Amino acid sequence: MSAAAEERSARTPWALTAPALMLFVGVLLIPLAMTVMLSFHDWGQYKGIEPVFILKNWHEIATDPYYAEMFWRTFRIAILTTLLTALLGAPEAYILNRMSGRWKSFFLLVILGPLLISVVARTLGWALLFGGNNGLVNKLLMSLGAIRSPIPFMFTETGMVVALAHVMMPFMVLSVWAALQRLDPQIENAAMSLGAGPVTIIRRIIMPQIMPGVLSGAIIVFSLSASAFATPAIIGGRRLKVAATLAYDEFLNTLNWPLGAAVATLLLVALVLIVVGSNALIERRYAEVFR
């Protein structure tokens, strides 16, 4: 091959990926960079946005406990949602995996259901079920004797966690499901033949092998819950804000775009750090299972 041809073939992958790359740069990287830039600009009630470089917005976020509270709430809700989906989703996936063919596909559809419905419609559905002290959920729980007085769901973190967990469940179930597919179909029989009971099999054999699936599901659920907008906006209302609704309000209600941009940037950076960090930890810890 001549040098020119070699050079041409080296350029081919770049040429072929150029359209997608340009789209990626145009609609993601440039707006992202602009948002980061915006967070350093000044803003005033009467002067609007001033394209200067100051740390005013970042200083405000760092010092005003209002913002700290908002971010802690965001991550608290995301962590609780993640725990709830893991506790319910992992057994759900395991049971689903043991079902026979027709039931398996039916229940898989039930689990994937939330993804097929618009997030707004689904959350409004939860709002109807929660609605005040006479909501369906409270009536049911009380008639079952699970609780004595109604739990406030609307405009509370509890309600947000429940509604978010429902939305996020498919991601956890699918992730654990994928890990279960990698299991040797005879592995439970092997453990049983060596004298292990059902509890030991799940604790010692199944759990360690699906843990990577649970953890990668947890990363997806955590980052989606922490950046969720529609569910916190509807269930939490304007009173119980999280980082995403806070940024929205700064942009569209206060019109303080630079402050909103700073909130959005901080949320993004925090999420990236958490996700990349935990992913690295998981990969190191479960190197043998991932292999």
Partner 1 sequence: MAYLELDRVAKQFGAQTVVDDFSLSVGKGEFISFLGPSGCGKTTTLQMIAGFLDPTRGAIRLEGKDLTAIHPAKRGLGIVFQSYALFPHMTAAENVAFGLEMRGVPRTERAERVRAALAMVGLAGYEDRHPRRMSGGQQQRVALARALVIKPSVLLLDEPLSNLDAKLREEMQIELRQIQRTIGTTTILVTHDQNEAMSLSDRIVVMSQGKIEQIGTPQETYERPASAFVSQFLGKTNDFAGTIDRTVVPTQLVAGSWRAPAPAGLGGPVTVSVRPERIGFGDTGLSAKIITRIFQGNHWLFQCDSECGPAIVIRQNDGKAQPAEGDAVRLTWRPEDMSVRARGGA
Q: Give residue 287's Cα distance to chain centre.
A: 24
Stretch that binds partner 1, among 49-57, 195-203, 214-222, 224-232 (CB under 8 A): 195-203
Least Å from the CB of residue 92 to partner 1: 22
By beta-carbon proximity to partner 1, the closer residue of 31 and 208 is 208
Contact status: 283 vs partner 1 (CB under 8 A): no
Least Å from the CB of residue 179 to partner 1: 12
DSSP state of 229: -
From 13, 19, 65, 195, residue interacting with partner 1 (rule: CB under 8 A) = 195
Whole-Å CA distances, 151 to 114, 129, 138, 139, 237: 24, 12, 7, 10, 17
Q: Find tokens 């958490």 and name the residue.
A: 274
Q: How far apart are CA 67 and CA 270, in angstroms?
A: 14
Contact status: 209 vs partner 1 (CB under 8 A): yes
Long-range Cβ contact pairs of 147-153 (< 8 A, separation 24 or more): 153/235
Contact of 175 with 217, CB cutoff 8 Å: yes
By beta-carbon proximity to partner 1, the closer residue of 51 and 197 is 197
Contact status: 192 vs partner 1 (CB under 8 A): yes
Whole-Å CA distances, 254 to 52, 244, 249, 257: 20, 15, 6, 8
DSSP state of 233: I
From 63, 105, 181, 200, residue interacting with partner 1 (rule: CB under 8 A) = 200
Contact status: 284 vs partner 1 (CB under 8 A): no
- CA torsion through residues 157, 160, 164, 166, sign: positive
Stretch that binds partner 1, among 4-12, 46-54, 265-273, 281-289 (CB under 8 A): 281-289
Footprint on residues 152-191 left by partner 1 (CB under 8 A): 184-187, 189-191
Footprint on residues 212-271 left by partner 1 (CB under 8 A): none
Token pair of 48 as six digits: 């609007």
Q: How far apart are CA 273 and CA 279, in angstroms?
A: 10
How many residues at the interface with partner 1, by CB under 8 A? 22
Contact of 67 with 153, CB cutoff 8 Å: no
Least Å from the CB of residue 99 to partner 1: 18
From 23, 29, 99, 194, residue interacting with partner 1 (rule: CB under 8 A) = 194
By beta-carbon proximity to partner 1, the closer residue of 19 and 195 is 195
Least Å from the CB of residue 279 to partner 1: 19
From 125, 197, 237, 277, residue interacting with partner 1 (rule: CB under 8 A) = 197
Contact status: 288 vs partner 1 (CB under 8 A): yes
Contact status: 100 vs partner 1 (CB under 8 A): no
Q: How far apart are CA 258 and CA 236, in angstroms?
A: 24
> Which residues are near partner 1 by CB under 8 A?
184-187, 189-197, 200, 204-205, 208-209, 286, 288-289, 291
